[in-house]
């Protein structure tokens, strides 16, 4: 899998907001100096290759009256896969990462209500017998998120 200059330009542009119009890809293609067909076929390929994991609206659960919470667990190595299966089975678990620390499993809960966070974290504790530390954000200092391709 290799990315050429056009793929990289597309990835950089597509991390910014897409216009909310009937033919959004046509206007982005025009900005990039390529055809709409070429833009779409490259996007389809990059999605198939999992270079793009998702394309679409980014929802803010908090603005819908819901909540996000970063959580962490210290999972013993020999139980890791078993615990992982139980944790990931919860639809409220939006992202989950293994990290280098005694607290080695870090996931984000996204729920429609603030109470949903506690309910999901408590359920995970009950099912796994491992404490779920909760780190809700108190303050956000930056919301941009782009990677230079």
**Quick one: 33 or 56, whose CB is closer to another protein?**
56
The least CB distance from residue 28 to another protein, in Å, is 11
The least CB distance from residue 126 to another protein, in Å, is 19
The least CB distance from residue 46 to another protein, in Å, is 8
Please, are residues 127 and 86 in contact by the beta-carbon 8 Å criterion? yes
**Quick one: 33 or 58, whose CB is closer to another protein?**
58
Please, are residues 19 and 48 in contact by the beta-carbon 8 Å criterion? no
44-57 burial, b at 16+ Cβ within 10 Å, e below that, comes to: eebeeeeebeeeee
CB-based contacts of 91, cutoff 8 Å, min separation 6: none
**Quick one: 59 or 125, whose CB is closer to another protein?**
59
């Amino acid at each position: 899998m290799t990315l050429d200059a056009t793929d990289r330009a597309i990835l950089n542009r597509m991390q910014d907001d897409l216009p909310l119009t009937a033919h959004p890809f046509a206007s982005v293609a025009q900005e990039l100096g390529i055809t709409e067909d070429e833009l779409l076929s490259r996007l389809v390929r990059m999605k198939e290759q999992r270079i793009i994991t998702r394309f679409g609206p980014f929802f803010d659960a908090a603005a819908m009256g819901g909540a996000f919470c970063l959580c962490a667990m210290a999972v013993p190595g020999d139980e890791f896969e078993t615990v992982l299966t139980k944790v990931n089975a919860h639809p409220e678990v939006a992202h989950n990462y293994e990290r280098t620390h005694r607290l080695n499993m870090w996931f984000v809960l996204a729920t429609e209500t603030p109470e949903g966070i506690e309910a999901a974290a408590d359920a995970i504790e009950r099912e796994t017998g491992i404490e779920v530390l909760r780190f809700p954000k108190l303050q956000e200092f930056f919301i941009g998120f782009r990677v230079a391709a």
